[in-house]
Chain A
Amino acid sequence: MRVAGLTALALAALAILPLFVHSNYVLSIAISGFIFVVCAAALNLIYGFAGLLSFAQLGFWGIGGYAAAIAVVDGKLGFAASVMFAALLAAVIALVTGFPILRTNRHAFVIVTLTFALLCALVARDWISVTRGPLGIPSLPVPTFFGFAFASPTRFYYLAFAFAVLALGILYALVTSRIGLLLKAIKQNEALARSQGISPMPYKLFAFVLGAALTGMAGGIYVFHLRIVDPTFLDFYYMQTFLIFVVLGGAGSFWGVVIASALMVALPEALRFTNDLRMVIYGFVLVVAMLVMPRGIAGVFHDRRLNALRAKLA
C-alpha cells in the first residue's frame, strides 16, 4: 500500500512539474531522465533478473535511434510508426543475435555483447550510404502524433513521461509475474531451475528481446529530443550511465533502480557539475557501490528490514 501511495504521489508531482518549472534546461534534464530510467530498467531486467551482464543495450539504443531517424527522414514515416519500427528492428536483431549469444558462458557473453555494441558504433560511422557516417542525420522533424505536435519542451516532457510510465508499467508487471520469478530462479541456480523442468533459454531470450525492444524504443524517442543522430549517439557514456543506475539501485530490484535513476539524474545537475566531473563521480559511485554495497540501495534497505525483524523476534 505504501509503495502504491508513494508511486501515485511521485507521478502526480511529475505530472504537474511543468506547471511550475519553465526552464527548458530543467525540462530537458527531466526528459533525459525519463528516457534513461527506461533503459536502466530494461538493463535491470536482463542483468538484475536474468543475471546476464549485457553491454548490447548500447547497441540496441543506437539501432533504435538510427532506425527511427532513418524511418522518419528516408522512409517518410510518421513519428509513432518510426518509433515502433525502431522497437521492432531492435527486437528482431536481438532475437537473431540473442540465440547464439545466450548459448555462451558468462565470460564470453560479456565480451560478445560488448563487441556487438562496438560493432553497432562502427556501422553507424562507416555505413555512410545509410547512416550518413560521422555527419549524422541532422534536423529531424518535430514529432507529431495524430496531428498533435510535440514542439515545445513542455509537450515533449509529457511525451517522455507517458513513455516512461508505460514502459516501467510493463516491466513492473513482468518482473512481479511468474516470469520474473522464473528469471530470478534461473539466475540464482540454473541447474536447480532445470531440474524443476524450467527450460532457461526461452525465458532468457524473452528478457533479452523485450529489453532490446524497450531500449530501442527509448533510443528512437530520444533522437527526436536531440533532433539529430550521429555516431556519438553510440558513445560508451550512455552504457556507463545505464549501468550506474542499475548498480547503484541494486540489480534485481525494480524500485531500487527507479529511485537510483532519479537520484543520479537530479543530484549532479543540482550540484552543477561539468559533464566530465559528473562522469568521475559516476565512476566513484560505481566502484564504491560495488565494494561497499554490492546489492545497491535496495540491498541496504533489505538488510535493514531483516535486522529490524530479527531485533523484534529476539
Chain B
Amino acid sequence: MEISLTYFLQLTVNGIVLGLLYGLIAVGLALIFGVMEIVNFAHGEIVMVGAFAMMFALPLFALGYWPAALVAMLVTGALGLLLYELLLARIERSEFERSILVTLGISMILLYGMQYLFTATPRLVDTNLGFEGFELGDIRITWIRCVAAFAALAAFVALGLILRFTQFGLAMRAIAQNRDAALMIGIKPRQVARNGVMVATALCGLAGAALAPIQSVQPAMGQALIFKAFALTVIGGLGHMGGALVVAIMLGLIESWSAAFTDAVWQEASVFIVMIVIVLVRPEGLFGGKRVRLG
C-alpha cells in the first residue's frame, strides 16, 4: 500500500490529539494513585459524566465551547469532592482491594444510572466550532481537535506549574513521595488527598468535554477509556504522571497509525499484551523504579 506523506501527517496529528486526551485521563488516574494509593475504577465514568455535562451545558451558552467545558470541569470536580468526602476518605491506605470494590461500585452506579436515565444510544454533540477546520500545508485540522489539543496542553502546563511551584501542588507530591516525612512536616494527608481527587476529576471533566464533540456521547464511553488508561498508568509506572503522559501520546499515535495501515485486528490486544509483559518483568513500570531498595 502506498502511503502519501500528507495522509501520514494527518494521522500523526490526529493521533497526538487523541493521545493528549488519553493523557488527561491517565494523569488523573496516576495523581489519585499517588496521593491515595487507590486505583480508581470509576475514573472512566467520571469522564463520561463530563461529556454529558458538556452536552447539556452547550445549549445554555449558545453552543459556546469554553463556558460549557468549564461547566463540565466544575461538575466532575464537584462529583469528585462528593465521592471523596462520602466514600473515599473512609478507606484506609492498606485496604487496596476494598478501594477497588468501592470505586467499582461507584462506576456501576454512574454507568447504569446514566444508561437508565438517558438510554445507551450514542448522541452527537455540536458546538459553535462546528465541523470547520483550517489547512496547515496539506493537512486539514478541525477546530474541534485543535481546541481539544490546546485545552489538554494548557491543562498539563497548569498542572505542572501547580505541582512544582505552589504549596498546594508541592504537598501532593510530598505525600506521593514520602507519606511519613510529609506527615512529619505538618502536611495534612486528608486535605491533600481531597485536592488531588478534585484536580484529577476536573481533568476527567475536561477530557470528557473535549471528547464529546470528537466522538459520540454515550454512557458506555467511559469503560472503553478506563481500561486503556489503566494500561497507560501501569506501563508508565503507577503514580508516575510524566510516564503516563508519554505513554498516552504513544498510544494515541499507534492507534491512529495502525487503524489506517495495518489490519488493526490485534492492535488493541497488543496494548494489553505489552502491559502484561511489562507488569511481569518490571512491576514498577517503564518510567518508575528509581526508588532505593533496601536488602
Question: Which of A's residues lie within 8 Å of B, judged by CB?
Answer: 47, 53, 100-101, 104-108, 110-112, 114-116, 118-119, 122-123, 126, 128, 236, 240, 243, 247, 274, 276-277, 279-280, 282-287, 290-291, 294
Contacts and interface: CB of A to CB of B under 8 A. Distances in A.
B108 A240 contact: yes
- Label chain B's interface by main secondary structure: helix
Interface residues of B, number: 37
Contact of A280 (B102, B109, B223, B275): B109
B238 interface: yes
Contacts, number: 105
Contacts of B112: 276-277, 279-280, 283
Contact of A104 (B87, B96, B269, B279): B279
Contacts of A291: 87, 90, 102
B39 A110 contact: yes
Interface stretch (B122-130, B137-145, B226-234): B226-234
A122 B271 CA distance: 11
When A and B form their complex, which 10 residue pairs have the shortest distance between CB atoms, in order from nearest? A283-B108, A286-B105, A287-B105, A283-B109, A279-B112, A276-B116, A122-B269, A53-B97, A276-B112, A283-B105
B272 A284 contact: no
B3 interface: no
29 contacts: A47-B97, A53-B101, A100-B280, A101-B280, A104-B280, A104-B283, A107-B39, A107-B96, A111-B275, A114-B227, A115-B276, A116-B276, A118-B227, A119-B269, A119-B272, A122-B272, A123-B269, A126-B266, A126-B268, A276-B112, A276-B115, A277-B112, A280-B109, A283-B107, A283-B108, A286-B104, A287-B109, A291-B90, A294-B98
Contacts of B268: 122, 126
B163 interface: no
Given A108-B279, A280-B112, A280-B113, A286 B230 contact: no
